[in-house]
Structure 1
Amino acid sequence: MDLAALLTSAGMNITVCVVLFSLYSVLRKQPSNVNVYFGRKLASRRSKSHDVCLERFVPSPTWVMKAWETTQEELLTIGGLDAVVFSRMVVFSIRVFSVAAVICIVLVLPVNYYGQDRIHKNIPFESLEVFTIENVKEGSRLWAHCLALYIITLTACSLLYREYKSISNLRLTHITASPPNPSHFAILVRGIPWSPEQSYCDTVKKFFSFYHSSTYLSHQIVYKSGAVQKLKDDAEYMCKMLSSGCGSVQPTCKPSFAQCYFCGGSTNSFKIISNDIDSMHGRSGYSDLHINARKKECAAAFVFFKSRYAALTVAQNLQTANPMLWVTDLAPEPQDVYWSNLCIPYRQLWIRKISIFAASITFVLVFLIPVTFAQGLTQLEKLEKMFPFLAGTLQKKFVIQLVTGYLPSVILVLFLYAVPPMMMLFATVEGSISRSGRKLSACTKVLYFTIWNVFFVNVFAGSVISQLAVFSSITELPAQLAKAVPVQATFFTTYVLSSGWASLAFEIMQLFPLFCNLFQRFILGYKEDTMNGNLTFPYHTEVPRILLFGFLGFTCSILAPLILPFLLFYFVLAYLVYRNQILNVYIRKYDSGGQFWPIAHNTAVVSLIFAQVIALGVFGLKRSTVASGFTIPLLICTVLFHQYCRQRFLPVFKNNATQVLIDMDRKDERCGRIEQIFEQLHSAYCQFTSSSQSECFSSHQGEREIVRTPEDVEPGKEISQQDLSWPVHRNLTSDKPVLGGT
């Protein structure tokens, strides 16, 4: 590929970006699109109406200025710590590749260009290989490349240390400065042993009351949930109604499908589950409720403790000699719980993980087909042999530039769009107990997949397999990478253009929500906004993309410096686009507490190590002993730096500090709000919202289960969904709320 083909690809992507960004600046001003481009503000009821004026139809850069001027504190308030961490990833990339671009363009690129005694063509018609390290003749000292590698590594490590320290402090502040978090007092227990004499609920109470009597507060059993279980519950409820006579069913508080639509139940009444009402309907009372509840119980429960330190201690300790029973973990935040996976038997998890690993390997092997096809487009000679009827067409200059400089990366990008949904499915089947954990798992899978297929498979499919044959041993890997990466560096440059610049334009346009909105308004005739702003930021797709481009930048910086200006422009554009989306489009439903940064740090360090290994191989091929000798200490120091950061900062992201939790407990005791926290614990983890499902909570002797209704709410108090659905256990003698599912 020559420089003209690269410029053709860049021109096409720039045109697409300019058109889409201009169109976005116009469409975002239209009142009919407020639910598409201001979903977060619409959800928080802060959207503004727009008057009809000419300014609505003129492109303007106001959104750029707003995204640029937004402070980190504002971003933290709106998007949470995860949004700040993602923004810091982009800022880190901008800083390190700014230094790399200056050093490599000024110092390395001239050495590559004049590396051999040859007659140079005009710059636009020069082959891109002339600008890579492949053009440097053997025997050169390559001191410029070694010096640039040292500067890039030192800059990256110093910035990584600074960012790791800063984000660790932000995480500690996130824990201590936030309102009392119910998850700090709760643990999730799985693998509860089954007993024929008593229910899971009684088993949990007996175990923790005996072994943790001083700190145990209450517990809440997890019940079977999901679409299948809901249909089953509704069917059972219908059978009970039909058998007892639909006309004799009394109104209840909950608008269940069976009650409201078939029996005319009112939503403004309440139901007291008692022996009297059960006998009116021909049921046996509490015994049936206990049997029904026991059938729906899972071998999992949330257990609440009197202090944060007690919950942390129990979560980290082994409860019994059998590690497959009474498995304890820190509970996710209430809004972060992934209820469907809590009912998965703990003994199945290892089988699921092995199955998902095998499925991932299969998916990677299947994906080799489109990758190989995309790489085949870069080799016109093979295309002419396979498709002789295209011989005349492939001789045209514009077609050559289009096929070699644009189509391969576009085809690969289109196939890669199927990867994130598949990896999210794999992460769900694995059994993650939290939504953020599921997204973290999917993020890691997508990252490994894209780095393997975009970098390694393209490298070996494009050059090693076709030119050098497969390496015979792992010791030859650096040498093979040294030969292959410079050849494929031009493909990585075009990939940054197609997958980077264009993807940002499509991201800010929100094409799918926009088309859905237009279809509903102009085809279906809806006049009101029917689309709710429920989109969460797709960290599992965007974090791997940012880290992949960083990986390509580090590995190709001294080998093919021309990639750096295109990469730097992408990161600057990403900084503006993603901040705009966090401010206006995506809402925050849950927060992982900055757990994405260790992934980013590890990927950056691994990228540096790979860049050094490849450089070591290149220096060996070019017979530059001085550069090779200086690269080995740099490689060792990078590994030691990584180990130090793992020991210094990573434990902060894995566990909560005892010192911090005890200080928070004592502060709550001094403020006198510990009792208030206890009262909020049980209602925080609200699993069910339908009346048929709420019946599966147990009711003991001396207690009645009262379901809240609008009449139960104090006058003037806002009615929440929780007030309409959550059953409250009250003691008949004291009339005080009773915590726990006991």
Structure 2
Amino acid sequence: MDVPTKTIELFARQKTTSSLDTFVSLLSNPFAQSIEKNAFWSALGTSIGGSALIACLFCFVRPYNSVVYAPRSRHADSKHAPPPVGKGVLDWVAPVLKTKEQELVEKVGLDATIFLRFANMCRNIFICITIVGCAILVPINLYEHRSSIGSTGAKNFFTQLTSQGVQGTYLWGYVLLAWFANLTIAFFLWHNYKSVRRLRRAYFDSPEYQKSLHSRTLLITEIPRGLRTDEGLVKIVTEAKDTGSNPRTAIARNVKDLPELIEEHNETVRNLESVLAKYLSNPNKLPPKRPTCSVNKSDQTYRKGQKVDAIEYLTSRIKELEMQIKEVRESIDKRNAMSFGFASYESIADAHTVAYKARKKGPQKTSIRLAPRPHDLIWKNLPMSSKQRNWQTFINNLWVAVLTVVWVAPNALIAIFLSNLSNLALVWPAFNTTLTNHSTGWSIVQGVAAPALTSVFYYFLPTIFRRLSNHAGDLSKTSRERHVMHKLYTFFVFNNLFLFSLFAAIWGYVAAVISSSQKEDAWSAIKDGDLLQKGIRALNSVSTYWITWLLQRNLGAAVDLAQIVNLAWGSFSRHFLHPTPRELIELSAPPTFDYAGYYNYFLFYSTVALCFAYVQPLVLPVTAFYFWVDSYLKKYLLLYVFITKTESGGQFWKVLFNRFIFLTILSDFLVALVCIGNTTFGYTQWLPKVCALAPLPILMLIFKWWCASHFDNKLAFYTTGVTAADTENAAEMKTRRTDRVGVRFGHPVLYKPLITPMVSAKSRHLLPSIYSGRTAEVEVPMAGYSDVYMDPMSHDEPGKTAKGDTPAPFEFVSENQMDFEFYKNRPEFRDQAGGEGELYGRPQDLVRRGSHGTLMTQDGTIMTDFDSRRGSSDSAATRMGDETGTTYPQGYHKTSTALRDQSPASSVRSMDIGNADRRLDNEHLLSGAAGMGRGGLPAPTPGGYGPLRLGEIHTPGESDQEDTSYDYFRRGRGLN
């Protein structure tokens, strides 16, 4: 007897198939909702209206918030201060329009000037292409679309403007526009290449470059073990090119774990500051429980993960790290030499001649290049060999490729579902019910979710690429930024343009092949898939999306001008996050300009516009309008808001030039595909057009080679060979020989001052009751870093010894001094928000001539004798009396002889004292100067750190036969 079988349907077959079909349909055409005309008008209204509203708010708020909208005016010296701007609503417009390029170079530097020139170039290019492109393509597209398709009511106006339906002889208009675009781009690139060369030559001849140390210094890497001495460096550079002058050389020493120790020290200091800021946020009512923290992983004194009192532990940890750093610094001279070093010439021409001769390959398999600024070096990468660097670069590129591929799926899903939650409801019936019941709430999520997720990802993307570039072996921060820009551009073009735009075509082609393969063999399905035609149709359907996307960039430019993010974050952190005094000081500092990010956006906008101009001509006026607006807005930001953290001297240009050549060639290939994809009558119709387009990529490559051969050497080198004109200033080189030009590049961990925990002065009276540690500085004297140390100085009475109940390990900051203006010359703040200090009148790399009192501090800052005739750009903080005969105010004490033997002042005594006395008698530079206690010098900056930090002075020898041994310079950097 047969038992009837009961079939249980685990899944609703019909519903599952329907949902799957819907999902495939959405993947095949994810932009079906994007081609409606309402999308354009809503984007246009949002962009223009929102930008105008934000710009009006900026005009009214700007005069009352100079901390956010004009920090450069507050902190820059007279030379670098931007033009004054009034309090009127539109008073900021006139300085932006009237400031010329030469003034920009002096005010904001060459990197910022070239950025603005690049923005203006993009604006001019797209204005020209817009006028000609719209005049050619708009009539052709409208006429062909209406004549071939017929009814105009069935399609909206924006669809009629696409290349869909254009065939036959009308495609020659596309060819004509391609030739015009290539010639226009080539002309502006050539014109700006000449201008950049002029700016670079003026930069080489500028007093700042002529007097800088890095301009005549070479960086030698991959030095063989047998030549890792000062004499070995001389042999290497002389073998590369004998210029007739002997360079002064310095081989680097192994600092081992010192960078990690200092990094941990700084992090621990910041952690302690954060704990104290939260615990003492209300001094009148302390929390009942003291803060706790987990012990450091490397601390073997405690159990792993043990909770301890945060204030006591972090303070003792800082003290322990200070002692470790001191011990390592004292033993540096006992460590082995590294595989890199520096050679400093007396003449810029000599250094550049050697660098030019060894630009491809140096002697003894070394690499010789012009040294970047000391602040620009990435020290941990200098010892890497070329083999290690190549391997790390390969791994880096592999990670970038993995990240690019991994982001494909989230990018597609965000574009399809989060940007339109109704699509998600089509394939998820349960969500459809929720969406229907709470439509208002989900509409808000739809408007925020997709942009928020992509914005968060793109916010962290440059940081990810920077860390990868650091591991890849970049030698300088500026070269790292150029590589980051290249990786960002590659990622955006591949993921956001190529895959994002062609995803529908690729998926539709695959789906059609899978469907057809069920009826016929797979190869026939592949051949009949018409991938090219599907791709062109996909580009037409997505073109309106890119118009709306470019329109929204104008809103982004207005948001950038108004500094809404910085303004909101600063207000939020001050009111809710209990910021430390250090964080408040950093919030008031000028923000740094992200050249890699902004250049990437400009290049990506240009790529989108030039590629889609042949598909949807409306992208051209939208892009031209964006560049026209942003070229002025960025000019204001660079004049009054942003600073260049590390000046490269305009070295971004060649990378920008190469990227523009690439995007032009990419657009040439795209217009060729449009001509082929729109032809339905065989190759005889499209072959002549493709042949007419074929010379364009070849001509652009020839143009690139011609520009490189004619301009690159003049951009990179002051001279390629010593000439008679270079040797005319023998007297000046004689002056340099007696002006201590043997100052060596040194790893900053050897001399950079350690930071001290900052505490708000309003909580000063509470520290003795909550902290049981040392209460006198003399227990851990700072003489280990200088030849002069201070007793705790009274905060209210500078020069007076503080009372014994003041906790010495802390620095008190009053409420009215939590501003970057009071700390802009401090190394820890200047490195993060002031670059090399040039903006504030204290360039680290400058070597002044003509005064025997020219001194260099441990952090590289030049300090000169007190001279009342100096201009305002040389602030009083840079003036210093000679040590001989100086009277110190109360609170300063001479250290013992044992300490002074290894202090920085030992380098002063290692000079020819007789020569120093003779100079004092002959030059009378200090004959009328008062002692330091009577000279009227300004009081130290808050916290006791000011212009009187004599312990940071480093004076190299100044006779012709200067002592250039490593120990000599080590003593001068205060390694006790």
Contact 1:191 1:346 in 2 (8 A): yes
Of 63-72 and 636-645, deviating more is 636-645
The answer to whether the Cα contact below 8 Å between 1:324 and 1:346 also exists between their aligned partners in 2 is no
Residue pair 2:356, 2:717 contacting (<8 A) in 1 also: no
1:396/1:730 Cα in 2 relative to 1: closer, same or farther (>3 Å)?
Answer: closer
Q: What is the CA deviation profile of residues 43-97 of structure 1, one whole-angstrom value per residue up to 9, with x for unaligned ones?
A: 215689x99xxx97x8x23323322222111211122221121111111111111
Give the aligned partner of residue 612 of structure 1.
668
Higher alpha-carbon Rg: 2
Q: CA deviation at 1:615?
A: 1.0
- Structure 2, unaligned runs of 5 or more: 1-34, 267-314, 514-524, 680-684, 754-782, 788-857, 859-899, 910-924, 930-934, 939-945, 968-976
Partner of 2:117: 88
Q: CA deviation at 1:182?
A: 1.9
Report the Cα distance in structure 1 between the residues aligned to 2:601 and 2:334, rounded to whole angstroms: 46
Give the corresponding residue for 1:461: 503
1:375 aligns with 2:408: no
Cα deviation, residue 383, structure 1: 4.0
Q: CA deviation at 1:11?
A: 1.8
- In the TM superposition, 1:245-394 aligns within 5 A as 292-295=332-335, 297-316=337-356, 326-344=366-384, 347-377=387-417, 383-388=424-429
In structure 2, C-alpha distance between the alignment counterparts of 1:496 and 1:28, rounded to whole Å: 27
User: Are 1:505 and 2:552 counterparts?
Assistant: no
Is the 8 Å Cα contact of residues 342 and 744 (structure 2) preserved in structure 1?
no
Equivalent residue number for residue 639 of structure 1: 701
Equivalent residue for 1:190, pick from 221, 230, 235: 221
> Displacement of 1:678 after TM fit?
5.6
| 2:300 counterpart residue number | none
Identity among equivalent positions (%) equals 18
Q: Which has the higher helix share?
A: 1
> Cα distance 1:459–1:404, how it changes in 2: closer, same or farther (>3 A)?
farther
- How has the CA–CA distance of structure 1 residues 614 and 568 changed in structure 2, closer, same or farther, with 3 Å as cutoff? same
Corresponding residue for residue 239 of structure 1 = none
Change (3 A) 1:390 1:110: farther
> Could you say which residue in structure 1 is the equivalent of 2:132?
103
Change (3 A) 1:723 1:81: farther
Q: Distance in 2 between matches of 1:736 and 1:648?
A: 41
Distance 1:388 1:655, change over 3 A: farther
**Are positions 1:434 and 2:506 aligned together?**
no
Q: Counterpart of 1:738 in 2: which secondary structure?
A: coil
The answer to whether structure 1 residue 584 and structure 2 residue 584 are counterparts is: no
Question: Which residue in 2 is equivalent to 1:515?
Answer: 568
Name the CA distance, whole Å, in 2 between partners of 1:487 and 1:319.
50
**Secondary structure of the residue that 1:121 maps to in structure 2?**
coil
1:738–1:157 Cα change, 3 Å: same
Q: Provide the C-alpha distance between the structure 1 equivalents of 2:128 and 2:718, rounded to a whole number of angstroms.
A: 36
| Partner deviation per Cα, 1:344-364 (whole Å, 9 max, x = no partner) | 466532222122111111111
Q: CA–CA distance in 1 between the matches of 2:67 and 2:120?
A: 29
Aligned AA (2:492): T
Counterpart among 415, 419, 424 of residue 466 in structure 2? 424
Q: Answer whether contact 2:349 2:718 (CA < 8 A) is retained.
A: no
Which one of 590, 610, 613 corresponds to residue 557 of structure 1? 613
CA 485–217 in structure 1, closer or farther in 2 if over 3 Å, else same: same
1:449 matched to 2:484? The reply is no
Letter in 2 for 1:170: L
Q: Does 1:112 align with 2:146?
A: no
Amino acid at match of 2:604: L
Task: Deviation per CA, 1:94-114: give whole Å up to 9, x if none.
Answer: 111112222232331122123
RMSD value over aligned CA atoms? 4.7
SS state at 1:62 partner: coil
Where does residue 889 of structure 2 map in the other structure? none
Query: Which piece of structure 1 moves more, 154-163 or 296-305?
Result: 296-305
The separation in 2 between residues aligned to 1:494 and 1:726, in whole angstroms, is 58
1:370-405 Cα offsets, whole Å, 9 max, x none, are: 321233247899645323456697999999999999
TM-score by length of 1: 0.78
Please tell me the residue identity of whatever aligns with 1:187. L
Instruction: Determine whether 1:572 maps to 2:628.
Output: yes
Q: Which residues in structure 2 correspond to 1:391-430 (within 5 Å)?
A: 412-430=454-472
Alignment of 1:52-91 (within 5 A): 60-91=89-120
Is the counterpart of residue 741 in structure 1 residue 966 in structure 2?
yes
What corresponds to 2:752 in structure 1? 689
Residues 322/614 of structure 1: CA separation in 2 closer, same or farther (3 Å cut): closer
How far the C-alpha of 1:131 sits from its partner, in A, is 1.4
The one-letter amino acid of 2:713's match is P
Deviation at 1:582? Answer: 0.7
User: Structure 1 counterpart of 2:539, which letter?
Assistant: V
CA distance in 1, matches of 2:265, 2:93: 51
Q: Deviations over 1:326-346 (max 9, x none)?
A: 432221123433334335466
Query: In 2, Cα distance between the equivalents of 1:156 and 1:507?
Result: 28
CA contact (8 A) 2:222 2:385 kept: yes
Q: Aligned-pair distance for 1:169?
A: 1.9
The answer as to 2:47 corresponding to 1:18 is no
In 1, the alpha carbon distance for the partners of 2:105 and 2:564 equals 27
Equivalent residue number for residue 830 of structure 2: none
SS at match of 2:220: strand
Q: CA deviation at 1:650?
A: 3.1
Looking at structure 2, the residues matched to 483 and 652 of structure 1 have their Cα atoms a distance apart, in angstroms, of: 47
Q: Which residue of 2 aligns with 1:657?
A: 719
Q: 2:727 — aligned with what?
A: 666
Shift of the 23–170 alpha-carbon distance from structure 1 to 2, 3 Å rule, reads same
How far has the Cα of 1:421 moved from its partner?
Answer: 1.3
Report the Cα distance in structure 2 between the residues aligned to 1:194 and 1:365, rounded to whole angstroms. 42
Given that 1:233 and 1:692 are in contact with CA atoms closer than 8 Å, whether structure 2 keeps it comes out as: no
SS at match of 1:682: coil
Query: Which deviates more, 632-641 or 525-534?
Result: 525-534
Which 10-residue stretch deviates more, 611-620 or 627-636? 627-636
Query: Which of 217, 231, 235 is the equivalent residue of 2:247?
Result: 217
- Residue 613 of structure 1: CA displacement? 1.2
Distance 2:549 2:141 in 1: 22
For 2:179 and 2:441, how far apart are their aligned partners in 1? 41
Q: How many residues align?
A: 675
